[in-house]
């Protein structure tokens, strides 16, 4: 499981996908999220701007990313 360290209080879902290298651009993140391919804490998340906090887990294409402070 990959870990993304928070620099601020939160990171947005689209930014986290880019930071983890799972998508190449914000546009790719937007389409992956709109297509229902991204899960946040086990539930499909449709909001690209969803704020992620310490302890959240993203799942995309069989990979998991944990958000940590």
The pLDDT value given to residue 1: 87
The pLDDT value given to residue 66: 97
Task: Kindly give the residue spans of alpha helices, DSSP state H, lying in 1-69.
Answer: 13-19, 26-34
**pLDDT tens, position by position, for the chain (69 residues)?**
889 999 999 999 999 999 999 999 999 999 999 999 999 999 999 999 999 999 999 999 999 999 999
Q: What is the DSSP letter of 27?
A: H
- Is the pTM value of this prediction over 0.95? no
CB atoms within 10 A of CB 60: 20
Q: What are phi and psi of 19, to 5 degrees?
A: -60, -35
Hey, what domains does the chain have and what are their CATH numbers? 2-68 (3.10.290.10)
H or E, element range at 60: strand 57-60
């Amino acid at each position: 499981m990959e870990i993304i360290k928070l620099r601020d209080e939160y990171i947005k879902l689209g930014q986290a996908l880019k930071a983890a290298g799972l998508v190449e651009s914000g546009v790719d993140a937007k389409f992956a999220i709109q297509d229902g391919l991204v899960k946040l804490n086990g539930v499909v998340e449709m909001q690209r701007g969803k704020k992620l906090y310490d302890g959240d887990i993203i799942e995309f294409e069989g990979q998991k990313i944990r958000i940590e402070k």
